[in-house]
Amino acid sequence: MGLRRITNEGATTFKDQSFYLHSSRQGNGLEIIAIDGSIGYISKLEPSSNEVLKWSKNIQKTPDEYLTALFTALEATEHGSAEKKLEENIFEVHEDCLLWKQFFSQQNLHGRRGKFPLKK
């Protein structure tokens, strides 16, 4: 997949307010890499991961459907395609976690769709 620079308004872990994001499918799982300068952070998610089970239940999807939706959102963010998805799916790093938020334009509010721990 691609590598995309993300501006992070609420950065608390990374040195500055932007980072690079990369994702790839790993079997039935997903690997997310966030890069800040020369430091890389990684999150490996599987359908059986606690985070995936929790968040898939919150949005009423199966773990596999949830990972597919997350991967699709990451791809749209990385490749700059699907402008609507870029507006709706927001990725931020707070402390040691990657947050996936969704913007609901009709209600003018953000809702969380996932929170995934990042490790160096």
Does residue 75 contact residue 23 with C-beta atoms inside 8 Å?
yes
Q: Please give the mean pLDDT across all residues of the chain.
A: 80
* Mean pLDDT in residue range 108-117: 82
Measured CA to CA, the distance from residue 30 to residue 15 in angstroms comes to 26
Judged against a pLDDT cut of 70, whether residue 92 lies above it is answered with yes
Judged against a pLDDT cut of 80, whether residue 6 lies above it is answered with no
How many domains are there within the chain? 1
pTM of the model: 0.80
10-14, 53-57, 89-93: range with lowest mean pLDDT? 10-14
Q: What is the pLDDT of residue 87?
A: 55
Does residue 32 contact residue 21 with C-beta atoms inside 8 Å?
yes
Strand positions, DSSP E, 27-78? 29-36, 39-45
- Residue 106's H or E segment, with its range, is none
Per DSSP, what are the bridge partners of residue 115? 99
The residue ranking higher by pLDDT, 117 or 78, is 117
CATH number assigned to the domain comprising residue 70: 2.170.210.10
The radius of gyration of the chain's CA atoms, rounded to the nearest angstrom, is 13
Cα maximum dimension of the chain: 39
- Note down the domain range covering 49: 4-117
Orientation of helix 50-58 relative to helix 63-79, angle to 10°: 90
